[in-house]
Structure 1
Amino acid sequence: MGEPTGHRARKKAQTRAHVRAVAHGLFAERGFDAVTIADVARRADVAVQTVFNHFSTKEELFFDGRTPWVSGPADAVRRRAPAQCPLAALTGYLSAFVRDRIVALDDPAHRRHVRLVAESAALRAHESHLVNECERLLAEALAEAWTDPGATHDGLVLEDPGTTAALTAATWLSAVRALLLRHRPAVASGADAAQVGEELGRLTDQVLAGLAETADHFLRRLRAAGAGPQPAHQAC
């Protein structure tokens, strides 16, 4: 008889975690581009095919376990409290996210991760793919929230929730990414990460509130000008 399903699953998970830990150690030692999948397999004492059974590319292996932010904004919208508006839930998540990402720069491992991505064109390209996936997932979550007749909605009156959701996801995530990239160097130069993180969290709240107000003003002007029929529902 074969191994019980639970045992096989645990063994598979252990192998995956072992390969990932070994690979991350090698990347930290040598840099991403200098390490091959064969190097990882030798150090982990597994076959090359075993590595590929768990990770389709070296870039996927590098980012594995490090990207909860890809689904984080969409999850915040979908898991919000029943009485909470989607944009309020998203703002709360993103403000906490930027604070945490800045504070994490106190951790040498996180600083090393940021440096490795900056040094590798392949990693930067893969990160851009992950950013696009994050935006797509958030747009889907907002569109679902804004077309749910039983949900609490935001202050925007929407004629086309899908388009507005896509524009909101692109604009808000781009703004947050710009804020993070702008403030990282301060911590690298010796500024207190906790203080920078708190200041950036407050700034994020202000920026996102401004974006929401701008969108609301624009849509109100469209309605005042008679652009299209009155929509059937509102978004928060």
Structure 2
Amino acid sequence: MRRILSVANIRTVSDLGDRRAQKKAQTRELVRTTAHRLFAERGFDSVTIADVAREADVAVQTVFNHFATKEDLFFDGRAPWVQGVADAVRHRAPGVGPLSALRAHLLEFMTLQLSSLTCPDERCYRETLEASETLRTYERTLVFEAEHRLSDALLDAWRTPVEDGEPTPVDPAITAPLTAAIWLAAVRVLIVENRLRVAEGLEPTEVACTVEVLGDRLLGYMQARSGTFHGLVDRSLTGATEDRRAV
């Protein structure tokens, strides 16, 4: 009998924990959807955390319990690309090189970013973001974070090379951040410039198809010459070291 009661008590505690976790998740989702609606209606800068709390019928502290800043609240669920670029390298299929995996991921990402502009919610999100200097500044910090995460993923991949047909740089510690910065900068330019074409009236899906072809050529060119790039990095470092020694 004691054993049965003990098991029952364990289940009760477990169920209570599950209900609390479920309620917490529901509250977070309520706060997020409420905030996103208010941002879309009034603009990011015109909405306060107090406004969100009042509209969601929760305490201001409850909002902060889930989101550290208003910027975090705006971007929550909207920036999977921050971790996505690194995950594409880390979780690539066996036998696929890191740059091949990254290239495929970025091509899909570019086309999705542009074709999604057919969706009114996506267009509203972009318009709200572009209208706020605060959000544009914060988005740049997310870009830098994505770059750093990608650099770390490339570094790990090149430090433990496998047979995938791709050249491994002599000095991964320098090549990884350079590669991350150059590849993501190229993709960002293609996306930003072609969003302007959509804003001028071109069909998003048509623009996305054009960018997919151009992006594939550009990233393919960069990938095909990655070995030369690795060599240039190595020779420049060697030359610099020799110059210092000569002095």
TM-score (norm 2): 0.86
Shift of 1:163: 1.2
1:73 matched to 2:85? The reply is: yes
1:146 and 1:153 in contact (8 A); partners too: no
Alignment partner for residue 39 of structure 1, among 48, 51, 58? 51
Aligned positions of 1:1-236 closer than 5 A: 4-149=16-161, 151-153=162-164, 155-220=166-231, 227=238
1:26 and 1:40 in contact (8 A); partners too: yes
Shift of 1:183: 0.5
Amino acid in structure 2 at the alignment position of 1:197: A
SS at match of 1:152: coil
Shift of 1:214: 4.1
Alpha-carbon distance in 2 for matches of 1:226, 1:37: 50
Worse overlay, 3-12 or 53-62: 3-12
1:37 and 1:58 in contact (8 A); partners too: yes
TM-score (norm 1): 0.90
Shift of 1:6: 1.0
Instruction: Please give the per-residue CA displacement for 1:32-71, whole angstroms capped at 9, x wherever unaligned.
Output: 0000000000000000000000001000000001011101
1:143 and 1:162 in contact (8 A); partners too: yes
Alpha-carbon distance in 2 for matches of 1:101, 1:90: 16
Alpha-carbon distance in 2 for matches of 1:127, 1:224: 35
Amino acid in structure 2 at the alignment position of 1:176: V
Alpha-carbon distance in 1 for matches of 2:233, 2:57: 63
Amino acid in structure 2 at the alignment position of 1:199: T
Alpha-carbon distance in 1 for matches of 2:100, 2:92: 9
Identity fraction in percent: 48
Alpha-carbon distance in 1 for matches of 2:144, 2:237: 34
1:102 and 1:193 in contact (8 A); partners too: yes
- Structure number with greater Rg is 2
The 3 A distance-change label for structure 1 pair 62 and 154 is farther
Alpha-carbon distance in 2 for matches of 1:91, 1:140: 17
Alpha-carbon distance in 2 for matches of 1:21, 1:4: 26
The 3 A distance-change label for structure 1 pair 210 and 104 is same
CA RMSD of aligned residues (A): 2.0
Q: How many residues align?
A: 227
